A and B are shown apart, each in its own frame.
Chain A
Amino acid sequence: MKFSKEFRDPELGKRLLERIHRRSRRPARLMEFCGGHTVAIFRHGLRQLLPDNIKMLSGPGCPVCVTAAADLDKAIALAGTPGVIVASFGDMIRVPGSRSSLAAAKAEGADVRIVYSAQDALAIARDNPGRKVVFIGIGFETTAPTIAASVLQAEAEGLKNYYVLSLHKVCPPIMRAILDLGEVKLDGIVCPGHVSAVIGSRPYEFLASDYGIAGAVAGFEPLDILLAVDMLVEQIESEKPEITIAYRRSVRPEGNPAAIKLMDQVFETADASWRGIGRVAGSGLSLRPEYEKYDAENNFNIEPGPAVEPAGCICGAILRGVSTPPECKLFRRVCTPQNPVGPCMVSSEGSCATYYQYGDDRGV
């Protein structure tokens, strides 16, 4: 964190931008995978500083946004189960499911608690031995190791009332799925920063080898992102795609072995449903059979009913990079952060909330 000032130095930023302008000749479509990157790009106004031939698209890297309505419905059904306390990250509770939201369930009397980490959920389980505490596990490889640690700790403490509804997603398979869909033509991907701090840069090598797409792992400060764009431009102009790291202070090619080990110990890869994309093989994490007693899927009889997507909402197309929020008929008119229709307007890292907040469509 002590670095944040250095990575906002306007002089270095100008120099990087000059180099990007000098070297970038071909039209380049770059996708920033992460919602955190989308926010940083808008907050620092980076899009308007890049050459016109570089187009930045926002990807599916907002964990709340990609949670399928059917999965959210399960969380809401759990909240309505007598004797259950649902613990969730705050972003999740206002997301509309098919018929309700966790916030609406809470208003009707369900015990839904906002937590900042799985450790907070464990504490609730400890304090309420007579109740069952279900933690809604969302997020990519960044949060999964911390939730794995909570399961191991519950086991070590002999807690019998702690469960995880694992809706975790993993990044590389969804990148492949988006490329295989062929709806968006990409020349480069700004790869996730925090996820890569865990898994490293190697899992993205298929981007270059199988698809001929440039890749650079970026941090979240303006210079991190500009450096990644500069690396992508270099790869695109020289026609030598590879995966480089513009976030060396946090990311190594091999990742964080301890975190990977923790994640692998508790979770195994599983198919997962993505909003707007559907079921993608091997793109999620479920608890291994050894830990099934902590798995909410196995221990509760959840029947949420058929899932329904909100009418007119194009969050799915936005998550695939096919559409942008201002192209949605509901954006700003019906769908606002106060009255969100789709998940991308709820999460602070959602594309719609970011466009709404930072006003790319309103001009300056």
Chain B
Amino acid sequence: MEDKILLAHGSGGKLSQDLIKSFLPDLANPILEKLDDAAVFEVSGRLAFTTDSYTVNPIFFPGGDIGKLAVCGTVNDLAMSGARPLYLSLAFIIEEGLPVADLKKVLASIKKAAAEAGVKIVTGDTKVVDQGSADKLFINTAGVGAVPEGVNISASNARPGDKIILSGTIGDHGIAVLSRREGLTFRTPVPSDCAPLGKLVADMLKVSANIHALRDPTRGGLATTLNDFAEQSGVGIIIEEDKVPVAPAVAAAGELLGLDPLYIANEGKLAAAVTASDADKILAAMKRNKYGGNAVIIGEVIAEHPGRVVMRTAMGASRIVDVPVGELLPRIC
């Protein structure tokens, strides 16, 4: 096989077939192996369906790569509706000249992430474009998941009195990618938090039916997610600055780059609005999951100032936490 991806790899001819067949061992499952035009599978009940495209630059970063991101990002979008993630599609847009070894590395990490998340990749597509028409590798994944009976989770369901739970430190993914891009090195390197959260959400649902809103704070960070809750639910939210966990290296890098961790992307965290009386047991369930070890209650939903998020600063003042204003941030997901 060639050591770089050629335009011919996307032509539909022999090279294309060889390339696709070389993917199969990594992704093997009976539905995919039929190589029919569409995947056929049985599902019943309510479905969740989502899609996302991944264009992160660089494609390999501390703690992950574009492949892991493409699986986790879509799995997490499904999980945030309370769904159990089941099936993914996987489409590559490859820039001519990408080393085949890089593609193999990405595939290996897709395999690993899909296995961990318990999802099957059941259909896919590969296109190759001229140099300069894409940047190394773009991936699109779409996913379907099954929403269990009685689960009704939406950013519009937060209610006054709810507690806001955050599953761990914020800003790790954005800083991991930026530090690699800008050649910044820190004494304590910051790995991306990229992780599939389906099982964390399942653990939460096992102990409580009163999870009202869930979202993974990706682009735009925690500030954007909380503003979504406030706006879509027509409620106010108040959080405590000193409760929001930030890794020291992320805090330091944020200062250096002039970025507030509240606005920096995460790929393995969630924020939830839950009934106050269930908050402690949900928190305990989260802490038992490896992706919720640092989970913490950071604030609450209130009836006052609907649509607005307010933070009590560590110094004892209050300020509005708005959505980020048009910053020139590079591609991070």
A5 to B320, CA, bound (A): 22
A13 to B318, CA, bound (A): 15
A102 to B256, CA, bound (A): 25
Contact B326 A338 (CB under 8 A): yes
Contact A43 B256 (CB under 8 A): no
Contact B313 A45 (CB under 8 A): yes
Q: Mark A247-278, 1 if CB is under 8 A from B, else 0.
A: 00000000000000000000000000000000
| Total B residues in contact with A, Cβ cutoff 8 Å | 24
Inter-chain contacts of A36 with B (CB < 8 A): 258
Inter-chain contacts of B251 with A (CB < 8 A): 4-5
* A202: Cβ under 8 A from any B Cβ: no
* B252: Cβ under 8 A from any A Cβ: yes
Given contacts A90-B328, A357-B322, contact A10 B317 (CB under 8 A): no
* B182: Cβ under 8 A from any A Cβ: yes
Contact B252 A42 (CB under 8 A): no
Contact B319 A359 (CB under 8 A): yes
* A356: Cβ under 8 A from any B Cβ: yes
B257-309 residues at the A interface, CB under 8 angstroms: 258, 260, 305
| Total A residues in contact with B, Cβ cutoff 8 Å | 38
Most buried by B among A2, A17, A364: A364
A349 to B327, CA, bound (A): 12
A224 to B313, CA, bound (A): 16
* B30: Cβ under 8 A from any A Cβ: no
Contact A362 B317 (CB under 8 A): no
Given contacts A10-B314, A42-B319, A44-B317, contact A220 B252 (CB under 8 A): no
Contact A362 B320 (CB under 8 A): yes
Contact A4 B255 (CB under 8 A): yes
A4 to B251, CA, bound (A): 8
Chain B contact residues: helix, strand, loop or mixed: loop
Chain A contact residues: helix, strand, loop or mixed: helix
Inter-chain contacts of A59 with B (CB < 8 A): none
Given contacts A10-B242, A357-B325, A364-B310, contact A4 B252 (CB under 8 A): yes
Contact A44 B255 (CB under 8 A): no
Given contacts A1-B255, A1-B256, A116-B182, contact A364 B318 (CB under 8 A): yes
Contact of B325 among A2, A10, A14, A353 (CB under 8 A): A353
Contact B325 A46 (CB under 8 A): no
Given contacts A4-B255, A364-B310, contact A49 B317 (CB under 8 A): yes
* B316: Cβ under 8 A from any A Cβ: yes
Closest CB-CB distance, B227 to chain A, in whole Å? 12
Query: Residue of A at shortest CB range from B184?
Result: A116
Query: Residue of A at shortest CB range from B188?
Result: A2
Given contacts A1-B252, A364-B319, contact A44 B328 (CB under 8 A): no
Query: Residue of B at shortest CB range from A220?
Result: B255
A112 to B300, CA, bound (A): 45
Contact of A114 among B256, B316, B320, B328 (CB under 8 A): B328
Residues of B in contact with A (beta carbons under 8 Å apart): 182, 242, 248, 251-252, 255-256, 258, 260, 305, 310, 313-320, 322, 325-328
Q: List 20 A-B contacts (CB under 8 A).
A: A1-B252, A2-B248, A2-B252, A4-B255, A5-B248, A8-B314, A8-B315, A42-B319, A44-B313, A44-B317, A47-B317, A91-B328, A337-B326, A338-B326, A348-B325, A353-B325, A358-B319, A358-B322, A359-B319, A364-B320
Q: Give 11 A-B pairs besides A49-B316, A90-B328, A356-B325 with Cβ atoms closer than 8 angstroms.
A: A1-B255, A2-B248, A44-B313, A44-B314, A44-B315, A45-B316, A337-B326, A348-B325, A348-B327, A358-B322, A364-B320
Residues of A in contact with B (beta carbons under 8 Å apart): 1-2, 4-5, 8, 10, 13-14, 17, 36, 42-49, 90-91, 93-94, 114, 116, 220, 222, 336-338, 348-349, 353, 356-359, 362, 364
Please provide the 4 A-B residue pairs with the shortest distance between their CB atoms, ordered closest to farther: A45-B317, A337-B325, A359-B320, A1-B252
